[in-house]
């Protein structure tokens, strides 16, 4: 090879190489950091709906998008650790649910867009400025749990007509759950119920709460948030042992369909990945609340479910 040809070839390669690098950078797959506030087993159906809806919108996991999964199991310290990790990684969007997890993500970054699939009153908890114009880097789907507490107690009273004593379990360290607690207490007072409020901070407090309520309650209301969601099997077992009809503020009793909200969260992620800013995307609200009745549990507790309530149920577990 002549010296001039070698120089020309080398020079061409030197020019082409940066172009190739730039092309690879342009083709970089967006990364979604999914901060699971509970555990994979609890959120399996929800995440499946999220991934499926992304696929329908053209974002195929592993092909043109990457999803990094992390699980906090309802532990506040894990929210902060995971959110900080996602900020260091520079993910393109953070997706999560629950007030504590959302606030942790918001504290970790003011730049990376954050989409929440469920949050109790995001305005009152300071997550967004308003539902119509969230501002900042956060938007999502509100769960409106506090606003449906009265309806849940009315349904509970249909199952337990003589209901007079109500126990409420709440993670006092979760501001969203505290908002729901206040709404439930107000509704219970209006219905003339005697209230026993049991505050928990950690999973270890749950068994002690049941020891305290023993003999002092005819039914149990659970303020839903990641800590109790992560320990739902334990709570259900203890409630059954105490023969307590239990109402959760989610679809498994009466509430919004969380897997559906994850699908809607995927639509918000799609908008962000296509250039919209979270500040300009209004927070959505649930459009449908569903009632689920577990006849197997009702039979174990010797409860008779009114036929009218069965007709209203979206799902009856037999």
Segment 190-223, tens digit of pLDDT? 999 999 999 999 999 999 999 999 999 999 999 9
Joined tokens for residue 104: 């942790």
Same domain, 120 and 172: no
Determine the pLDDT at residue 252: 65
For residues 296 and 284, membership in a common domain is answered with no
Does residue 184 sit in the same domain as residue 313? yes
Please tell me whether residues 297 and 179 are part of one structural domain. yes
Domain that holds residue 230: 145-255+290-317
The pLDDT score that the predictor gives to residue 14 is 42
Q: Strands of 289-294's sheet, edge to edge?
A: 254-256, 289-294, 315-317
300 and 194 belong to one structural domain: yes
SS3 of residue 301 by DSSP:
coil
The answer to whether residues 311 and 207 belong to one domain is: yes
Do both 100 and 198 map to the same domain?
no
Mean pLDDT of 259-284: 96
Q: Is the pLDDT of residue 15 over 90?
A: no
Do 138 and 30 share a domain, yes or no? yes
**Nearest C-alpha neighbor of 315 from the set 271, 221, 250:** 250
Q: Are residues 51 and 62 in the same domain?
A: yes
Using the predicted structure, report yes or no on whether residue 306 has a pLDDT greater than 60. yes
Segment holding 93, helix H or strand E: strand 93-96
Q: What is the mean pLDDT of the chain?
A: 88
Tens-digit pLDDT profile for residues 153-175: 988 999 999 999 999 999 998 88
* pLDDT tens column, 69-124: 999 998 889 999 999 999 999 999 999 999 899 999 999 999 999 999 999 889 98
Structural domains of the chain, count: 2
**Do 295 and 195 lie in a common domain?**
yes
């Amino acid at each position: 090879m002549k010296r001039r040809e070698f120089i020309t070839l080398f020079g061409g390669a030197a020019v082409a190489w940066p172009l190739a690098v730039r092309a690879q950078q342009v083709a970089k797959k967006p990364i979604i950091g999914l901060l699971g506030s509970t555990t994979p087993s609890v959120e399996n159906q929800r995440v499946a709906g999220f991934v499926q809806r992304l696929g329908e919108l053209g974002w195929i996991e592993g092909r043109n998008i990457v999803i990094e999964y992390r699980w906090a199991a309802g532990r506040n310290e894990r929210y902060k650790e995971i959110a900080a990790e996602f900020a260091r990684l520079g993910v393109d969007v953070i997706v999560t649910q629950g007030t504590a997890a959302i606030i942790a993500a918001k504290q970790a970054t003011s730049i990376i867009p954050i989409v929440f699939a469920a949050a109790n009153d995001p305005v009152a908890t300071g997550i967004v400025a308003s539902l119509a114009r969230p501002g900042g880097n956060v938007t999502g789907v509100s769960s409106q749990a506090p606003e449906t507490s009265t309806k849940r107690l009315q349904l509970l009273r249909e199952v337990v007509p003589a209901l007079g004593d109500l126990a409420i379990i709440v993670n006092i360290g979760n501001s969203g759950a505290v908002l729901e607690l206040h709404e439930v207490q107000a509704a219970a007072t209006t219905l003339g119920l005697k209230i026993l409020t049991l505050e928990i901070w950690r999973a270890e407090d749950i068994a002690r709460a049941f020891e305290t309520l023993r003999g002092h309650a005819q039914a149990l209301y659970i303020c839903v948030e990641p800590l109790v969601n992560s320990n739902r099997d334990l709570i259900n077992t203890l409630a059954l042992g105490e023969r307590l009809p239990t109402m959760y503020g989610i679809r498994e009793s009466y509430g919004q369909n969380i897997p559906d909200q994850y699908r809607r969260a995927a639509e918000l992620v799609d908008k962000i990945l296509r250039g919209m800013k979270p500040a300009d995307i209004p927070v959505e609200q649930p459009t449908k609340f569903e009632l689920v009745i577990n006849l197997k549990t009702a039979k174990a507790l010797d409860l008779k479910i009114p036929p009218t309530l069965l007709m209203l149920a979206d799902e009856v577990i037999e």
